[in-house]
Structure 1
Amino acid sequence: MSDVPHYNMFIDGQWVEGSSVWGVKEPSTGETCATVAYGGVSYTDRAIEAATRAHTEGVWRKKTPAERADVLDRIHQILSAKVEDLAHLVASENGATVRCATAFHVGVALGSLKYFADQTRVYEFRKANEPTQLPLPAQGYIHRDPVGVVGAILPFNFPLVLGIWKIGPALAAGNTIVVKPDENTPQTLLEFAKAAEEAGLPPGVFNVVLGDGEAVGGRLAEHPGIRKIAFTGSTEVGKIVMRGAASNVKKVTLELGGKGPSIILDDANLDLAVRGSLFAFLMYNGQVCESGTRTFVPRALYDDVVQLMVEATKTLKIGDPHDPDTDFGPIIDQEAVDRIQQMVAHAVEQGATVAYRGALDLDEKFRGGTWVAPVILSNVTNEMDIARNEAFGPVGVVIPYDTVEEAIEMANDSEYGLAAGVWGGDEERAIDVASQLEAGTVWVNDWHMFPLTGPFGGFKQSGLGRELGAHAFDEYTEEKYIHVAANQDLQQRAYGLLFGHS
């Protein structure tokens, strides 16, 4: 493993060795593509202590918003010069195709960082209220102060994007932060640490700790020194994080699982709707929390849509994620492969039909990797396990409906509510259907698009709070009200209620 890059953890402005070394596997081949220092609770505590000290000293929070924005801009500039290298890191450790990595994993991440830098200059950290006369003349001021030390726990699938969606507003608001990447995909966050160091971010303000999720993530969730936890991952683990955070009542943002419904209306452009619905559940090999994995189709169009989906999926090229011509890559690890295959098998046992299962005709180099070809299941009902639980892989189910009201009812019949989509020719009608769907994001004739001005988050068990949008910084600040009496006249005070006899 001497010919692969090695990364240490980044704590208090220093690159720190761990108690052991973790090998990062390339999903497409099964080979080690990097090694990283691996820590645990003691390293997490060390990072929290550094972040706490930096916050207390005020080396970052006392800078003006413009000064903080300038540092974020410098980080953005440094990373923007490395787009191609970052995309190939993603293709290696994530298994995303290099096209997907460039556009989404890296492109969206850097666009988001620039957006947060720009927002730092215009966000109202201080705002004067209108003077009031009741109960007595006074002037009020609303301050939005940094919460303190933020803990960020990230999943494997979009580490840089989802990392920046937390790091950006946290740093912009003047907080310090400890980041825990997924052990399978840490490299882009460590590259961010290099850029932060080069850009002049003060020691202790930004820290990266690597290690087991239960140990490092659990410690971040429960540690009393962490005043805000931001987590993206499964609903099951999100509940554990929430319980840990409850022990000392810290602020929490949770972006959790999904089982997105994609409703094709009877007046939809079928070319657009079919390819869009496939993109909805196959982008990044199906490993996206807001994927559209349930496609609802009018019964009269059902057979035609299934066939069109099958024919379009057959054209996808599966193979080397580093090849720009590749459309579809591997799954993150063998545990995920086993889970996906078991869920498909169980769906068939419950009565589903495999309308299509892609073939894996791979070069010998990739036969040690972890692969699942795209699967389309027909004859699925909304009550089947495959329609209710998140496979987190390239599995889409197609469900018929008789009325739009029935489609909406089935779409909302889920404990998840992260994202949904509607495909239709009549835009007003499609928007009306979208307005009835219980999801934090609803696309009309599109999917996986994230304008940075739009808030992102889930209904129901898909999470708490929102990322992106004009109010993203609200999640990383505490609102303080400062009341200033209009004068110093003792007679114009409520003190008389207490000292009425004098």
Structure 2
Amino acid sequence: LIRTVADRFGARAEALAALQSRENGATIRITGALHVGLSVAQLQYLAAIAETYEWESAGPAIEPVAADGLVVREPLGVVAAIVPWNIPLLTAVWKIGPALVAGNSVVLKPDEHAPLLLLELAREFDAAGLPAGVLNVVTGDGESVGAHLAGHPGVRKVAFTGSTAVGKSILRQSADTVRRVTLELGGKGANVILDDADIDMAVDGALFACMANNGEACEAGTRLLIPSSRRDEIVDKLVDRARTLRIGDPLDPATNIGPIISATQRDRILDYFRIAADEGAKVAVGGGIPQGDQFARGFWVEPTIFVDVTSDMRVAQEEVFGPVLVVLTYDSIDDAVKIANDTNYGLSAGVWGTESRALDVARRLQAGMVWVNNWHVIHPAYPFGGVKESGIGREGGPHSIDEYVEEKFISIDRSGGIENKAFAIVIDPAN
């Protein structure tokens, strides 16, 4: 069934990518490859690992009581999947796929700004033969529908992707019923350029890390750490390259940056521009709304780079969620690692430089994912998730089904009777 849905979605990939671009403003280059393409690949991978998953496994003999052990993996029950507007299909597939494979039923809550692709996904599951009521999509506002699901006593697991603030609320609600949670939350990815890096490649990589998906990605590399000794060279190249980025129609394959999802989100980004200026950061490029008739409709923000940023500034600590890069400088590798780890978040990080040095730094960074000389490399066979306030648990990867099953231990007697037990129960008749 999962394979059928993957095949049907793959056959519609071009139209679905365009639908996603129209709905949330992500460029067609990103929606085709990341939103739809990777989602199809994730379903295909999940179908493959489901065929070899150990739903029951025998363990070692239990001595000296002469028993055998069996571990049975059973569905949890009802799973609530709550997903955001920025990359809705992939974040939903990470939850729906393993939950259904494991035998759970799912109530999926899309973000109110981007439900269309997920309704299409539900239709494909229905067409593939999934029984009615196993996958349910409930649209509506997060404050009413999402909160209701997160607190419902009949839900045995909440799988959520979204802001850290909402994730904390879900975690508190889940304590009342001791339900399972998987939380993929915010990020403030540190991207470290070493002094031996290929600077031109690192500059391109830094802009891709931050600006892809209009900067509306939790794993974006929004903090760029550069060596003080090469500060002017790198900043000049960043500014020159950023000015070549094309802002416009997300359905045009030549577009690099599309519109922001909503007026609320655009205004939030603009507020951070004012905050950054008040704290002493300087705009190197961008910093406003693009001008022209083509930007009269929709919500737009220029790709923006701030310099003279220090780690204590809000713009360096808080998730802006837009095409905004902040540049910080460091004097030594230890200094770079300290700055990179100086955040409550820990979802993503990256290092640019010769492989051996970059790998040494990567091992010291507090993040669930670290990319060396690249960014946004997400693959079905590898886990996705963060540490600290960036979340709990992992999605994707070879153990994704484990997140949606309960393990039951069954002990099977082989001795022939209780009288043969090494640890017999002794009852004192006087008591």
Q: Same fold (TM over 0.5)?
A: yes
Q: Match for residue 103 of structure 1?
A: 33
Is 1:478–2:376 an aligned residue pair? no
Is 1:437–2:373 an aligned residue pair? no
Q: Match for residue 66 of structure 1?
A: none
* Deviations 1:108-159 (CA, angstroms, capped at 9, x unpaired): 111111111111111111111122324x221111111110110000110011
Q: Match for residue 29 of structure 1?
A: none
Contact 1:149–1:228, Cα closer than 8 Å, also in 2 = yes
Superposition map of 1:65-214 within 5 A? 71-134=1-64, 136-214=65-143
SS in structure 2 of the partner of residue 373 of structure 1:
coil
In structure 2, stretches of 5+ residues that fail to align are none
Structure 1 stretches of 4+ with a deviation exceeding 4 A read 358-363
* Deviations 1:276-332 (CA, angstroms, capped at 9, x unpaired): 111111011100001111100010111111111111111111111111111110101
Q: Match for residue 418 of structure 2?
A: 490
- Equivalent residue letter for 1:210: T
Is 1:265–2:194 an aligned residue pair? yes
Is 1:462–2:407 an aligned residue pair? no
- Equivalent residue letter for 1:440: G
SS in structure 2 of the partner of residue 305 of structure 1:
helix
Q: Match for residue 163 of structure 2?
A: 234
SS in structure 1 of the partner of residue 203 of structure 2:
helix
SS in structure 2 of the partner of residue 296 of structure 1:
strand
In structure 1, stretches of 5+ residues that fail to align are 1-70
Cα deviation, residue 499, structure 1: 4.2
Q: Match for residue 311 of structure 2?
A: 382
Query: Equivalent of 2:151, from 219, 222, 238?
Result: 222
SS in structure 1 of the partner of residue 169 of structure 2:
helix
- Distance in structure 1 (CA, Å) of the matches to 2:288 and 2:184: 33
Cα deviation, residue 348, structure 1: 1.2
Contact 1:284–1:328, Cα closer than 8 Å, also in 2 = yes
Q: 1:290 to 1:252 in 2, by over 3 A?
A: same
Question: Root-mean-square deviation (CA), in Å?
Answer: 1.5
- Distance in structure 2 (CA, Å) of the matches to 1:324 and 1:484: 62
- Distance in structure 2 (CA, Å) of the matches to 1:339 and 1:137: 65
- Equivalent residue letter for 1:209: V
Contact 1:329–1:371, Cα closer than 8 Å, also in 2 = yes
- Distance in structure 1 (CA, Å) of the matches to 2:348 and 2:142: 26
SS in structure 1 of the partner of residue 224 of structure 2:
strand
SS in structure 1 of the partner of residue 38 of structure 2:
helix
- Equivalent residue letter for 1:118: A
Cα deviation, residue 98, structure 1: 0.8
**TM-score, normalised with respect to structure 1:** 0.84
* Deviations 1:10-40 (CA, angstroms, capped at 9, x unpaired): xxxxxxxxxxxxxxxxxxxxxxxxxxxxxxx
- Distance in structure 1 (CA, Å) of the matches to 2:414 and 2:291: 76
Contact 2:266–2:300, Cα closer than 8 Å, also in 1 = yes
Contact 1:314–1:358, Cα closer than 8 Å, also in 2 = no
Cα deviation, residue 430, structure 1: 1.0
- Equivalent residue letter for 1:459: V
- Distance in structure 2 (CA, Å) of the matches to 1:366 and 1:462: 34
Aligned length: 430
Q: Match for residue 13 of structure 1?
A: none
- Distance in structure 1 (CA, Å) of the matches to 2:51 and 2:252: 40
